[in-house]
Amino acid sequence: MNRLENNGTVGGSPSAEPYKPILTQAPTGVSEGRNITVSDESKPSLLNLSVDTHLKIIGCLRLRDITRLKQVSTYFREVIQEDNALAKAWYRRFPSSHQLLLNTIVTSKDDNQLRCWMKRFINDKDLIESLIQRRSSPHLPALLHFTNTERKSKFRIFNLPAKATISHDKPVNSASFSADASHVLTAGRDGAARVFGQKADGSWIPKVLTHQSDFGCSASFSANGRHVVIFGCDGKARIYGQEADGSWERKLIIVHGSTVSSATFSPDGCYLVTSSWDGRAIISGLESNGSWVKKLIILGHNSDALVNFSADGRYLVIVGEDHTAHILGLEDDGLWQRVGIIRHNNTVRSACFSADCRHVVTVSREQNATVHGKEIGGLWQEEATLPHVPPVKSAHFSPDSRHVVTVGDDNFAKICSLEEDGLWEEKGIISHNDSIQSLTFSADSRHVVTASIDKTAKIYGLKDDGAWEEEVTISHRNCVDSAIFSPDGCHVVTASDDGMAKIYGLNAEGSWEEKVSISHSSWGNSATFSTDGRHVVTASRDGTAKICGQMLDGTWLVKATIYHAGRVTSATFSADGDYVMTVADNDWDDDARRQTVKITELWGEDDILEDICRLF
């Protein structure tokens, strides 16, 4: 079986250092009046350790350090390659939630789908079959994604074969890939929703066509991609499920008395909650036989309710216009029961759970945000009131649940941290001269980036003493619409109305520096990272989407441009990073704003296929 030659590391690798020969004899000398004798062993003490010990040490190193070690030692190069240590270290950089997403791309595919996908970057049929037989290996997703990532990072130019176009007679409300990247779901103001699926030969074909009303609809996948909900102005939400033969069948119609404003799957895909302008929220659940049934109707809201699940799917918070947020918990018998009520003196704007499911933060128009925590007995009690004058617009938890940041109408963002005594204390303030458009934490919770109408994005970092301090200001010539971190937290991309997207990266010293600017001739609508964090796609009103990628030496360059006849309103990668989906107007002067969704494949000019050296 051939070995996968890891000639570099994605994310940049330091240049090779000269090889230093091992001393073969024991020299002596005098230093500051003392006799010094160097050990006469022909090997350094590190090399005298066992291979298992070496692997444990390597497992504690960062990706950059493993790359350096591989370059300076022939012995460690062999050890690193045999253990696929680079792939493991690359995978460890992602948070557990993102690793779960990458795992899903592999585990949700059947054998034939997995076989077709691996053919993109493995040129040994016997090896592919061997990997399929051992697909239960916990390290297989890391190996496959790392190999695919390195393959794409070697290309300076992408070919862009268009695989499918999906037409809507009015603007598109939603368009998304499934978690396994094998399906696409679109829904528009024309009332049409469509599911397209990928065949074994790489082509895309329609799987579900439905028309709900003349007033438009939206749609979304469940987290595992096995179910779809389509909802809209006709007061109905329809759940479709994928059968064993790949077909999609309608499972349930949920009827409301007015427009269904939202439909949200639980993280495990076993529950769906819909909310409507009729003031009701309905929870539906997946049964063991594959059917869906209504579980609970929640009344008492003045209009459509805002709904969020906890990360474990065991809790649900529902916000209406009655100045309250209700927390529901899933009991062991499968029933949903109200376990907490959070009261405010004014309209509640939003509510969300922390990632550890132990806290919930609510935002109201009464100039504060409130944090409630789950007690040992299951009750939810207030932990802190976070004042903000004027009113708070939004509040966000960090991925590690240790920090919460509030964004106010005063152009300030305040960061509070959870102390050892259980109290939440203010640790930093981010100031802008105009409205804050977005705020995002990095995956490791050690950085925050804001985007503002004042033409800047700011990155703040968590210091050893617990304080948050500004690390860099990214300047544009017009308002900054968004700023997001890469999945591994090592890069930031901004999108601005000046037509520029800027990528900043962390260097070896821990400071941020500009890597590349992506230029458009009109406003930029968005800039999004691929799931591996090594590519960015931008969408612009100039009718183009540009794909910028990081090479193996760490440099970034624009690799391809996707063209449309009208404004490009969005561009996103599939979960495996092999496809880009763009949504664009059909032309510049279409009053109806008919739009087209295009699926484009990323393929190298001279595709490089490599083999994996071993399976764990």
- SS3 assignment, position 83: helix
> What secondary structure letter does DSSP report for 384?
E
Dist CA 124 CA 145 (whole Å):
17
SS3 label, residue 373? strand
Confidence (pLDDT) at 304: 62
Among residues 411, 448, 452, the alpha carbon closest in space to that of 428 is found at 448
Whether residue 339 contacts residue 379, with contact meaning beta carbons closer than 8 Å, is answered with yes
β strands within 444-577, DSSP E: 447-452, 456-462, 468-475, 480-485, 491-496, 500-506, 512-519, 524-529, 535-540, 544-550, 556-563, 568-573
**Beta-sheet pairing, 480-485 with 491-496:** antiparallel
Q: For 462-485, how does the pLDDT look when each residue is reduced to its tens digit (9 = 90+)? A: 999 999 999 999 999 999 999 999
415-438: average pLDDT: 96
Residue with tokens 């469940």: 222
C-alpha to C-alpha distance for 72 and 424, rounded to whole angstroms: 47
Q: What is the pLDDT of residues 495-504, one digit of tens each?
A: 999 999 999 9
Neighbours of 135 (CB within 10 A): 16
In the DSSP assignment, the letter for residue 47 is: G
The phi, psi pair for 97, rounded to 5°, reads: -65, -35
User: How many C-beta atoms lie closer than 10 Å to residue 101's C-beta?
Assistant: 16
Model pLDDT for residues 190-238, shown as the tens digit of each residue:
999 999 999 878 889 998 877 666 778 999 999 989 999 999 999 999 9
The answer to whether the beta carbons of residues 438 and 482 sit under 8 Å apart is: yes
List CB contacts of 411: < 8 A, sequence separation 6 or more. 431, 432, 433, 434, 435, 436, 452, 454
Give the model's pLDDT for residue 1.
36
Per-chain mean pLDDT for the chain: 88
